[in-house]
Structure 1
Amino acid sequence: MQILVALACAAVLAALPAAAGDGRPKGVVELFTSQGCSSCPPADAALGKLVEQGDVVALSYHVDYWNYLGWKDTLSSAESTERQYDYARTLGRKSVYTPQAVLNGRDHMNGADLSGINRTLDTLDDNGKGLTVPVTAVREGDRLNIHIGDGRGKADIIIVYFDEQNTVDVGRGENRGRKITYWHSVRDAQTVGMWDGKAMELVLPMTVMDHERYGGCAILVQKMKSATVPGPIIGASIVTDSPS
């Protein structure tokens, strides 16, 4: 299963867009949201603005615990809910909420607070808690080289697949009658390797990509507090099929 995921991601990465500066995003924003949450549409719109900024790895995880409110989120999954609860343990919280934005796996806030998100990402970066490990991908003929730079400690290498954009007509529940656009909604995630603090290359073949299945993917280099509890994200890159 991991091999299939890695092969698909390699094809998506062929569309790697150029990034500003040293090519390092200033942070990772993971939004936990739901189509059945009346407070979430402003946060979904804020995530869209982060995607437009182009300097943030922005991902949207649709949780399933609000599905009982009369509308089953068409993008929701138990895995997204599980990741949010895992973060609750990381952040020392007893409960979860929507819309919650988790920043670099280190902090959280209301996902609708766009200025606060950008400000906190800048502060984390200034304090050495940003994306300190460079992650790049370069196509060479029929293969793709993913390069992860030097750093400290150990971390998992996670590939996160997402739909680039979905527009949903919500038929019931708290958002009944609304047409809402969602960006970078996560559909799958797999751990495909481990980084031990030393620069490394992950070589993947460029195979046929099922473009109708995923619109892009992100590579996250994330430290783990335990086998199931995520820690800080120290490196990341994002790739979509859209022209840069």
Structure 2
Amino acid sequence: MKTLFAASCGLIMIAGTAAAGPLQAAAATKPAVRPVVIEMFLSQACKSSPPAAVTLRDLAGRRDVVALAYHVPYWDELPSHKSGAWADPFAREAFAERQKRYNKRIRRTDMVYTPQAVIDGVFDATGSKRDMLDARITEAQVLDEHARPAPPLLKVARGDKIRVQIDGVGAPYDAFAVTFRPQALTEVESGDNAGAVFDEINVVTAVATLTQGAEGAQSLAFEAPPAGEDCAVLVQERGQGRIVAARYCSPR
């Protein structure tokens, strides 16, 4: 399949179709109590990504947000005219595939871009636009409140293992353990961001499936992340649909 790269960092097309506009929601409705998940797809090789890393850091300070940074590798192979290429040390092909699945469902296109924020698996926004992200968070909260009278139960307890309890989802669901580095400092030596320092939070290093297509209550356990890393648990409608519950593994 032929791949078409945009002239500058931002958009990659893989035989796509036109994007669908985001849903609009009334802002006056009371927000839901569970945290909204922001999945930020970005790259240290993309010149538009540094502001998105700053935006995600700011959003991570909100108690009603679970913020996660997924680095994607598709910009690594494109050298800068001045400084060569840069291989993002946190980029994983699996994260690019996750982003592609979101775009096929949310935007009805095979096009992907950075920086892109996906909110609760149902909305997307340009990752550096804080006002747009705040609006999408509110939309996700409103949607969540209207979708069910109460959020599903998700309990996460950290000990020798991470133990998870899930109940009340009301539909088939998948659950994921997302491992991340709470802090990551990278000096970029080449590429479009040569000389820049990425001072990031919650940089994802791995995503593991805990259960797939589950129905009803589940009690799960998995190994705690290694020293220097933390994790979050995401409960998502089957097939990488809407995120219905999320928690960090460590208290915030």
Is the structural similarity TM-score above 0.5? yes
Between 62-71 and 190-199, report the one with greater CA deviation: 190-199
Q: 1:124 Cα shift?
A: 2.0
Q: 1:115 Cα shift?
A: 2.7
Q: TM-score, normalised by structure 2?
A: 0.76
Q: Distance in 2 between matches of 1:22 and 1:108?
A: 19
Q: Distance in 2 between matches of 1:96 and 1:209?
A: 30
Q: 1:136 Cα shift?
A: 1.5
**Pair 1:200-2:229 in alignment:** no
**Pair 1:116-2:116 in alignment:** no
Q: 1:209 Cα shift?
A: 5.4
1:69-111 per-residue CA deviation (whole Å, 9 max, x = no partner) reads 2111111111111111111211212300000001111110101
Which of these residues, 105, 114, 128, is aligned with residue 121 of structure 2?
105
Which of these residues, 178, 184, 188, is aligned with residue 206 of structure 2?
188
Instruction: Give the structure with the larger helix fraction.
Output: 1
Are the structure 2 counterparts of residues 64 and 142 from structure 1 closer, same or farther at C-alpha, using a change threshold of 3 Å?
closer
User: Which secondary structure state, in structure 2, belongs to the residue aligned with residue 156 of structure 1?
Assistant: strand
Q: Distance in 1 between matches of 2:124 and 2:203?
A: 19
Are the structure 2 counterparts of residues 209 and 176 from structure 1 closer, same or farther at C-alpha, using a change threshold of 3 Å?
closer
**Pair 1:223-2:232 in alignment:** no
Which of these residues, 12, 26, 29, is aligned with residue 38 of structure 2?
29
Are the structure 2 counterparts of residues 121 and 23 from structure 1 closer, same or farther at C-alpha, using a change threshold of 3 Å?
closer
Other-structure match for 1:79: 94
**Pair 1:49-2:68 in alignment:** no
Q: TM-score, normalised by structure 1?
A: 0.78
Other-structure match for 1:40: 49
Identify unmatched segments of 5+ residues in structure 2.
Answer: 1-30, 80-84
Are the structure 2 counterparts of residues 124 and 209 from structure 1 closer, same or farther at C-alpha, using a change threshold of 3 Å?
closer
Which of these residues, 109, 114, 137, is aligned with residue 93 of structure 1?
109
Other-structure match for 1:134: 153
Amino acid at match of 1:41: P
1:207-228 per-residue CA deviation (whole Å, 9 max, x = no partner) reads 775214xx21111111233xxx
Q: Distance in 1 between matches of 2:157 and 2:33?
A: 12
RMSD (Å) for aligned C-alpha atoms: 2.5
Task: Indicate if the aligned counterparts of 2:160 and 2:224 stay in contact, CA closer than 8 A.
Answer: no
Q: 1:238 Cα shift?
A: 1.1
Task: Indicate if the aligned counterparts of 2:162 and 2:249 stay in contact, CA closer than 8 A.
Answer: no
Q: Distance in 1 between matches of 2:161 and 2:42?
A: 36
Q: 1:199 Cα shift?
A: 3.3
**Pair 1:235-2:245 in alignment:** yes
Between 114-123 and 60-69, report the one with greater CA deviation: 114-123
For these two proteins, the number of residue pairs brought into alignment is 212
User: Which secondary structure state, in structure 1, belongs to the residue aligned with residue 100 of structure 2?
Assistant: helix
Are the structure 2 counterparts of residues 33 and 143 from structure 1 closer, same or farther at C-alpha, using a change threshold of 3 Å?
closer
Q: Distance in 2 between matches of 1:129 and 1:111?
A: 26
Q: Distance in 1 between matches of 2:76 and 2:96?
A: 12
Which of these residues, 65, 77, 83, is aligned with residue 74 of structure 2?
65
Identify unmatched segments of 5+ residues in structure 1.
Answer: 1-20
Alignment of 1:140-219 (within 5 A): 145-194=163-212, 196-202=214-220, 204=221, 210-212=226-228, 215-219=229-233
Q: 1:194 Cα shift?
A: 4.0
Are the structure 2 counterparts of residues 73 and 145 from structure 1 closer, same or farther at C-alpha, using a change threshold of 3 Å?
closer
Are the structure 2 counterparts of residues 216 and 159 from structure 1 closer, same or farther at C-alpha, using a change threshold of 3 Å?
same
Q: 1:183 Cα shift?
A: 1.4
